[in-house]
Chain A
Amino acid sequence: MTKVKILAMLGVALLGQSAALAHHSFAAFFDPAKIVKVTGKVTEFGFKNPHGVIVLEVPGPGGQVQKWQAETNAPVVLQRRGWTRESIKPGETITIEGWASRDGKPYLRLRQAFHADGQPVGKLAFGQGDQ
């Protein structure tokens, strides 16, 4: 669990923030009160609507690797926040943060991503009102 932080942030921490809707229901799939933060090596970055996809290999205790997957807002939304299909490259180490999947899978809806040097990917986190 060294690089996997489960941050259960309730209520106040998320006031004013909301995940932009895409084709499937955010409310049905994700817990708006549970934020997951994961650091790992990118194995895949897809940049197609209805959602971009980021797949990470995350080192766990004992050296085993766990696969994590994030879906992003629609790339049409990402593009307005400074993302391109080159924003994340396979092989680089990044940190992703987002809303946890309700079914307990290592799967999340992306709120924000950071490069290894701490710089955010794109201009703004998702769920802050601008599209």
Chain B
Amino acid sequence: MLRQARRLLAVGCALALSGVAVAAAPARSAVHPDLSGFWILSMQPPTLAKTLTTKLPANTVVVDDTGPAELPIGDYGGLKVKAAALAEARKWKPQDEMTISRTCSPPSIVYAIQGPFPFEIYQTPELIVFKYEYFDQVRLIFMDGRGHPPADAPHSKTGHSIGRWDGDELVVDTTHLEPSTITNNGLNHSAGIHVVERYKRSADGKTLAATQWFEDPAVLDNNGARLIEWSSKPGSYVYPYDCDPSFALQYQAAPDAK
């Protein structure tokens, strides 16, 4: 118990010092792959992540909007959207996002993790921490065998995540996600979405690949997935995001078209 407490304390200390150097990460397991470090989105087509697609469940479409790519309005990347959710999605207007109450509201990890912002991983046997630059989001991946909390427990944009090792791959299961965008163009997931991510580090250590799979029967008739790869950049660290909602006021004050 004392040993576990010390390890958790080590993670906390590392997070506190992360603005100085990622090298301050705590001691890691010698048994499992070491995923810790600073990771920045790769702009190359995924290769290692493609090898993980064989482990995706049936009836899954890979949504091709990872990184800078974006789906236009009305295009949901092959996701089969139920009628009610589709009707809601079609009501969406881009300007809806440009309000002081919305502009600093982060997307859930369903959309957020594939964007062109870096993150750090801190790893211990019992707990893995993902610290994202985008909106300063932090995820705790519990590796101690616990389950998810009751269904009516509070939801959030980062949800509740539990992890396990499948050989040299980290499998992360996430529930309790607050409704948020799936494709950044009006399609939202429900509070019942279930996300499973599978992470694998390349043999040379330079690449971290992942599949992000999700099911949301209240919204989708099929399942979705993304392929994501990041590159290692030792010595770098995420910057504070500190979102300022006054950007929305500046947008609203922009001159009108003539």
Residues of A at the B interface (CB closer than 8 Å) are 18-21, 23-29, 46, 48-51, 53, 66-69, 71, 74, 76-77, 79, 103-107, 127, 129-131
Contact = CB atoms under 8 A, between A and B. Distances in A.
Contacts of A71: 247, 251
B73 to A, nearest CB: 6
Contact of B103 (A50, A67, A76): A50
Contact of B43 (A27, A66, A74, A129): A129
A27 B70 contact: yes
B94 A104 contact: no
A18 B185 CA distance: 18
Interface string B124-166: 0000000001010000000000000000000000000000000
Nearest to B236: A80
Contacts of B254: 69, 105-107
Q: Which of A20, A25, A29 has the most CB of B within 10 A?
A: A25
Which 8 pairs between the two chains have the least Cβ-Cβ distance? A104-B257, A28-B94, A18-B68, A48-B244, A27-B70, A129-B43, A76-B239, A69-B254
Contacts of A21: 67-68, 70, 115-116, 184
A105 B250 CA distance: 14
Interface residues of B, number: 41
A26 B185 CA distance: 10
B185 A28 contact: yes
B94 A25 contact: yes
A5 B97 CA distance: 29
B199 to A, nearest CB: 20
Interface in B44-63: none
Contacts of B27: none
A53 B247 CA distance: 8
Interface string B100-117: 000110110000000111
B105 to A, nearest CB: 8
A51 B239 contact: no
27 contacts: A18-B68, A18-B69, A21-B70, A23-B103, A23-B107, A23-B135, A23-B243, A24-B94, A24-B97, A24-B103, A25-B97, A28-B72, A46-B247, A48-B244, A49-B244, A50-B104, A50-B241, A50-B243, A50-B244, A53-B247, A53-B250, A105-B256, A106-B255, A107-B255, A127-B68, A131-B116, A131-B118
Contacts of B43: 129-130
A71 to B, nearest CB: 7
A118 to B, nearest CB: 27
Contacts of B238: 76
Contacts of A131: 40-41, 116-118
Given A105-B257, A131-B116, 9 more contacts: A21-B115, A23-B107, A23-B243, A27-B185, A53-B247, A77-B117, A104-B258, A106-B258, A127-B68
B242 interface: yes
A31 B15 CA distance: 40
A21 B242 CA distance: 17
Contacts of A67: 255
A74 B250 CA distance: 15
